[in-house]
Amino acid sequence: MHDDLKTFPFTNKDVERIISHPDMPSAYVEWRELLPLLTEGARLDLGNILGWSYPVSRRALGSSRTVFRKAFDGISDDCLDRMMASLGDIPVIDFVNHFVPFMRNAGDLKQLFISDTVVSDFLDIYHQPRGKIPMPEHLMIEITKSCNFACTMCSSRTKGFRKELTMTLEDFGEIVRVLGRKASCIRLNGYGESTIIPGFMSYVNCLDEFEFRGLREIITNLSAPQDVYEELAARGFVIMASWDSTDKKQFVSIRRGANYPVMLSTLRKLGRSMGAEPERLVFLSTIQEGNIQEIEPLARFAAEIGAGLLIFNMVKEEGGSPWMNTRFGEIISQFKRAKDVADSAGIQIKVPDHLGSRTTDLDFSAKTPIEGCDMPNKEVLVHWDLETTVCNMFNPYSYGALFLQNVPRQQQSMEERASTLWNGPNARLFRERLGNGSTHPYCKECYFL
């Protein structure tokens, strides 16, 4: 293999055997045959596991004991024996749909490998199918990974629109048509900035075309022209605007690339036009160590603009945030003052019930999933590349992809694939064994509000 995916050496010819014989036992399939079916991210992760070795990629799964040992670091010989023996019974299409995502997930679960529990649990769940649960009622769609900003707390820094990091309009429409039927809410998520997509309103039109009647939300950095937001408001969207400071200098230092005067004008006009429905204008403020003093001013600003809800989210930093402990009292004081301002203005405010590992003990704090979470039972996030993941908080845990690559779309049913993944072993493993703040490492100290 080659680490430059633009020169990816495998083609759809390599997958012909799998497409023709999806029930073929996985043990007899070579890695090279399934790689073209995967999303780019899955290829990259699996390539790392295979050591970017072309000879290894041509090895049958059933003779790849060393590959599985590397993927499941710390696995015992007995558990590995069970995994290898299972390959003779697992149809190759199931391996692609379920076992490849599990191999990717295992990297983040290494700290849980005290024993072989996670691997054994996964195999148990795979071999013991259960009844289906209702499809998710909250549908989060990350249309693009592209962004025109380079915010300090975000890794999505693409210097503008990137077509290759954007979901096609056809795929978006199919998601709305299939999953939107069961959803009570569709949110255009904000890791990338949806409004910078050329023809963005065509995506919005899909909601009307497929008669979606539920709640519509968009998270945005407010960089689009004013008429885009006026149109979204007219279409019934809740507009969730990312805004982290009332100070121009600090704002642009956080939201790098922002045109503060233009965005402020857009926000003020939006506040006036949505004045009769303030609940449809929401401030999302990410608190970092540098903008703690902005908590109370942001509450005053939200009231001035005419927002109906202000959400304070704490930044999630690799390695934790020791400053949350050292400045705990200061943050709590700011939250209390912001609450007084919000009460006086008649707006709703949400603050987390913990800062790092310490509880806030505020009677107005919103419960976060720190002690348990039911979101995996009712929410799914679909990334731009059609990978499905746990929740809006960008947990990297994957359920699998809604479509296989290098297979004509007309040969695949999104309805069947969505149900297969939503009720599959990765999703069930998360719900039954990993879905709380004390288990999955990414869920630790979650601030979902």
Query: Sign of torsion, CA 242 245 246 248?
Result: negative
Q: Are strands 358-359 and 354-355 parallel, antiparallel or unpaired?
A: antiparallel
Task: Judge contact between 27 and 65, C-beta under 8 A.
Answer: no
Tokens of 100: 């490849």
In tens, the pLDDT along 178-211 reads: 999 999 999 999 889 999 999 999 999 999 999 9
The per-residue pLDDT of the chain, averaged, comes to 92
Q: Which residues pair with 215 in a beta bridge?
A: 185
CA 107 – CA 442 distance, rounded (Å): 12
pTM, two decimals, is 0.93
Reported confidence tier of residue 3, pLDDT bands at 50, 70, 90:
very low
Task: Write down the CATH superfamily of domain 138-371.
Answer: Aldolase class I (3.20.20.70)
> What residues have CB less than 8 Å from 401, skipping those under 6 apart?
38, 39, 42, 385, 386, 387, 388, 421
What sections of 259-380 are H helices per DSSP?
Answer: 260-273, 295-305, 323-326, 328-345
Q: Which of 226, 158, 168 is nearest to 193 (CA)?
A: 158
The most confident of the ranges 78-87, 362-371, 389-398 is 78-87
* Residue 4 pLDDT: 44
Query: Average pLDDT for residues 339-346, to the nearest whole number?
Result: 97
* Residue 6 pLDDT: 43
CA 363 – CA 367 distance, rounded (Å): 10
Query: Average pLDDT for residues 117-140, to the nearest whole number?
Result: 92
Q: What is the residue extent of each domain of the chain?
A: 1-128, 138-371
Structure letter (DSSP) for residue 160: B
Sheet containing 348-350: order of strands: 348-350, 309-314, 281-287, 237-242, 215-220, 185-188, 138-141, 379-382, 387-389, 398-401
* Residue 114 pLDDT: 53
- More reliable by pLDDT, 288 or 113: 288
